[in-house]
Structure 1
Amino acid sequence: MVIDRRHQEAIELAAQSIRQNVKKVSGDHWRLNYHISTEAFWMNDPNGFSTFKNEYHLFYQHHPYSAEWGPMFWGHVKSKDLVFWEHLPIALAPSEEYDLDGCFSGSAIEKDGFLYVLYTGNVWTGNDQDTDLRQTQCLAVSEDGIHFNKINQNPVMLSAPKGEIHPHHFRDPKVWKHGDDYYCVVGSRTKDHQGQALLYHSKDLMDWEFMNVMAKSDGKLGYMWECPDFFHLDGHDILMISPQGMEPVDDLYQNLHQAGYIQGKLDYETGLLHYRNFQLLDYGFDFYAPQTIQDLKGRRIMIAWLAMWESEMPEQKNNWAGAMTIPRELTVQDNKILVNPISEFEKLRENAVQYTNITVEGEHTFHQISSDSYEIEVIIEAQASLTFGMKVRRSEALNQETLLMYDRTESLLELNRDRSGSGPKGRRVAPVKLYDNKLCLRIFIDKSSIEVFINHGEKVMSARIYPDQAANGISFFSDKKITLIKFQKWDLNKSISIGSIEGNSSR
């Protein structure tokens, strides 16, 4: 395969920029231990989440010249187990007329011993980035899963289909194989700004035929569907979407943009998905553009961007921004997706602590437990209490804490970061029922993040938080007596480290 020198030179220049800033990034106390982030500078959407030669590959939107969003490259990490990841060289750089202003989001698939990535080439045609843009779908190929060449036939999808489909907002292709053929869903909007997803079909990944508008907004699902992902799971067809511009409904949809799924049945003859209601995948502050794979064990695994557009990012002052969620396993129960951390994260556990049947009334602080990178499992029996919860990353001296509070009268669990330290504030709530008067939580705390899995995956709440290094306390509170039936805590080891952008292992 002939190496494209222009593309390679753009990658090498970006690598030099990153190398010059790795040291400053690695010294930041908010630097995450077990979440994927860049070696330096900006990260957003996960891309190309795939398996290739029995390893896991994850790419991501990356600006290698600043901690702000800019012309997009594709960063790259790989793993053997979805827990320990190593950094690889940048995979894609904007270098051609069709992607001059960014290699936007896309996906990857293994075919005939090669790894193919299908991505959006973006070109600005004027000063208004909402109206003055040209987006096409492009293909790059790799023999080793590390070095990619863009094909000569690019773009493989030259323009959006005619009709009521918006001609410019046409991005984020997700490809999969069904039978002997390949299918692809692309994010889109109508000319009157209603979000929708377009379905394409191909025999060879090169020549694509538009089939139909797969699904579209009912008028309440935003003006643009970004980062669609389609898969079949436990007898259900699932279309994941990230709708922009949904209006808040009571306590829901409070983030700038949302991420969730619609469920139904895809007719592969007509290209139509007949679907039911939209469901959120995460009720916290920071979760966007999720992408999934079927892993080597047959599970459906999801990773998303652990951030939100236009949100304050204090880590930018130390030359990095953004991270990924931990990988999450998806299953279906009672026609809804359950979301749980993958079991492999147990590999990171050490220094186990366990308590049973602890009575709390008022406030109880575990003075002997403090950490900034850990996992908690807790089962709380509410008894007669109406309000109870816990505080993590707590320091009374600094007046810092991240609050989880359950309100039984409203059946709501609140995640509150008004006192979480630096960075954005606010509260989010999730509708949560008690089972046998019990609340089950599994919580992952990292240096600057929290992910809360509720009642065995019925709901999840994720957020970036930026506490002081000294804010390491854990306490529980209640208005009346509650019982901590089980409280387990493990420190979690580091699994992501600053590695070599030349492709050597970071472990």
Structure 2
Amino acid sequence: MKKTVNHMDNNLETAQQFVEEMNKKISGHPWRPVYHVSPPANWMNDPNGFCFFKGEYHLFYQHHPFSPEWGPMYWGHVKSKDLVFWEHLPIALAPGEAYDKNGCFSGSAIEKDGKLYIMYTGNVWTGPDHDKDLQQTQALAVSDNGVRFTKLAENPVIAAAPEGDIHPHHFRDPKVWEHEGQYYAVIGSKTKTNQGQALLFRSPDLINWEFVNVMAKGEGNFGFMWECPDFFHLDGQDVLVMSPQGMKPEGIYYHNLHQSGYVIGTLNYETGQLSHGPFQLLDYGFDFYAPQTTIDNKGRRILIAWMDMWESPMPTQSCGWAGAMTLPRLLRIKNGQIVSTPVPELERLRENEVYYTQVMVEGELALEGISGDHVELELVIDAQAASRFGLKLRVNEERGEETVLTYTRDDSLVSLDRNRSGQGPGGIRQAEVPLENNQLHLRCFIDKSSVEIFINGGTTVMTARVYPSEGATGIRFFADQPIQIINLKKWDLKHAIINFN
């Protein structure tokens, strides 16, 4: 290996000082998440480098430290011992080399020889059109302790996109893994005629890479670019996760600007091709993009995504910050689909339990002790003969604010409606969810500016950012005919971000 170089120290120090000073001004903002990761200040997007290293979980993220808008990308950094309580660390990567001077774009991390390697996309604008005038290459940085990184002298380790029907400039977001003594990376791409695809590369040492094949390619309504691919083996099957840009709506689905989902199949490591089934969504809500997974020391496959959406209004930008991450979700495959559940460690956040059983609801009902703006709800509803029922979260009756989850029996649809959620974008997202023994199981995580709803054991998940007033703490249940809440538990959830509010 060549001697490593590092030209980014000054950029990192300047950025870190700016963020810390800005954080003092914005701490305690009423929309600041209590138990979701968000930036100390300014802009956050894609999770990067999610990994388990030397007994701790590390999560990096795309970060613009100088503005609450997207800009030249740095890598922000948090770590946790338990996926619950997170500590902010110094910014890990800064642009500045010839191959990444306009941004250290998304990537992943892997342990090798006791060190943590980051593989990321170096971005350079070659003209004013950021869709056409760009050069993207793949680079490495290494750390002994997982905190301070040095870029390799060999960079860029993949200097150009391969030949063939592969767009020469849109070539980004490597996810790296090891298989049978070789390292592999899947990289997001598109064809020259704007079909999304994923490219597979192989290396003996993380530095010298060869192109293997187009792993998978979109056909039909499968987007014009696949961003942030991830690949892993789960429950005996291979899974390719990607975020296709530009899928057109189909019925009740694909109404976000861009989607995030997966296909299940089998990768032939010799040919580099993935045979797979149909595309399925990972989340049916509004705000979920660029998911990335890791495997931990317990053998669990865990996912975190950016809890926002491109080109969607973000009211917190006017307050000096933007962006948050979803809760960590445990993945498994059941009946040909991925089931996502909150990692069980999140139960450590619970306090002040309130419990009800066998509550009848007709019309609209509020229950004493069931309210809050950073709480968890767990409930089972017997639908009985009702054709329409649900619950309202973050309710402020005086201001007419509410975020509404409704189940309609005739079409077996769950609808998440944020048209009256407060500031920010509105809209409705839907998913088809059959009742189980005429019951609907819900687990709802409410934070200061988000809701995450896990339905029927995580077979369907719906996530949304919401921006209500501080007084919007009400929770109400409703039904057009009598329903029974078989059991209901509510907990307040503790603060989980260690070194800032």
Q: Specify if TM > 0.5.
A: yes
Separation in 2, partners of 1:422, 1:69: 21
Separation in 1, partners of 2:106, 2:164: 24
3-state SS of the aligned residue for 1:282? Answer: coil
Separation in 2, partners of 1:379, 1:278: 30
Q: Which amino acid aligns with 1:226?
A: E
- Relative to structure 1, the CA distance from residue 3 to residue 199 in structure 2 (aligned partners, 3 Å threshold; closer, same or farther) is closer
3-state SS of the aligned residue for 1:51? Answer: strand
Check whether the contact 1:25–1:31 (CA below 8 A) recurs between aligned residues: no
> 2:317 aligns to what?
316
> 1:339 aligns to what?
340
Check whether the contact 1:388–1:479 (CA below 8 A) recurs between aligned residues: yes
Q: Which amino acid aligns with 1:409?
A: D
Q: Cα deviations across residues 422-456 of structure 1 (Å, max 9, x unaligned)?
A: 11111100110001100000000000000000000
3-state SS of the aligned residue for 1:346? Answer: helix
> 1:61 aligns to what?
62
> 2:478 aligns to what?
477
Superposition deviation, residue 218 in structure 1? 1.3
Q: Which amino acid aligns with 1:177?
A: E
Q: Cα deviations across residues 17-70 of structure 1 (Å, max 9, x unaligned)?
A: 101111222121000011011110000000000111111100000000000000
Q: Which amino acid aligns with 1:273?
A: L
Q: Which amino acid aligns with 2:283?
A: D
Q: How many residues align?
A: 500
> 1:427 aligns to what?
428
Separation in 2, partners of 1:4, 1:215: 36
Q: Which amino acid aligns with 1:161?
A: P
- Relative to structure 1, the CA distance from residue 404 to residue 81 in structure 2 (aligned partners, 3 Å threshold; closer, same or farther) is same
> 2:492 aligns to what?
491
> 2:191 aligns to what?
190
Separation in 2, partners of 1:3, 1:192: 39
TM-score of the aligned structures, taking structure 1 as reference length:
0.97
Check whether the contact 2:116–2:146 (CA below 8 A) recurs between aligned residues: yes
TM-score of the aligned structures, taking structure 2 as reference length:
0.99
Superposition deviation, residue 296 in structure 1? 1.6
Separation in 1, partners of 2:28, 2:338: 38
Superposition deviation, residue 497 in structure 1? 4.1
**Unmatched 5+ stretches in structure 1:** 500-505
Separation in 1, partners of 2:214, 2:174: 14
3-state SS of the aligned residue for 2:424? Answer: coil
Check whether the contact 1:33–1:497 (CA below 8 A) recurs between aligned residues: no
Q: Cα deviations across residues 228-278 of structure 1 (Å, max 9, x unaligned)?
A: 000000011000000000010011000000000011000001000001100
Superposed CA RMSD in Å reads: 1.1
Q: Does 1:152 align with 2:153?
A: yes
> 1:201 aligns to what?
202
Separation in 1, partners of 2:206, 2:4: 21
Separation in 1, partners of 2:248, 2:339: 25
Q: Which amino acid aligns with 2:83?
A: L
Separation in 2, partners of 1:171, 1:108: 15
Q: Does 1:140 align with 2:156?
A: no
Pick which of 61-70 and 368-377 moved more: 368-377
Q: Output aligned runs, 1:78-227, within 5 Å.
A: 78-227=79-228
3-state SS of the aligned residue for 2:346? Answer: helix
Separation in 2, partners of 1:25, 1:434: 44
**Unmatched 5+ stretches in structure 2:** none
Separation in 2, partners of 1:330, 1:38: 25
3-state SS of the aligned residue for 2:10? Answer: helix
Separation in 1, partners of 2:447, 2:170: 36
Q: Which amino acid aligns with 2:13?
A: E
Q: Runs in 1 of length 4+ with deviation above 3 angstroms?
A: 1-5
3-state SS of the aligned residue for 2:470? Answer: coil
> 2:442 aligns to what?
441
> 2:463 aligns to what?
462
3-state SS of the aligned residue for 2:17? Answer: helix
Superposition deviation, residue 348 in structure 1? 0.4
> 2:414 aligns to what?
413
> 2:358 aligns to what?
357
Check whether the contact 2:197–2:215 (CA below 8 A) recurs between aligned residues: yes
Superposition deviation, residue 371 in structure 1? 1.1
> 1:35 aligns to what?
36
3-state SS of the aligned residue for 1:456? Answer: helix
Separation in 2, partners of 1:495, 1:134: 39
Superposition deviation, residue 369 in structure 1? 2.8
3-state SS of the aligned residue for 1:315? Answer: helix
Q: Which amino acid aligns with 2:194?
A: H
Over the matched positions of the two proteins, sequence identity in percent amounts to: 60
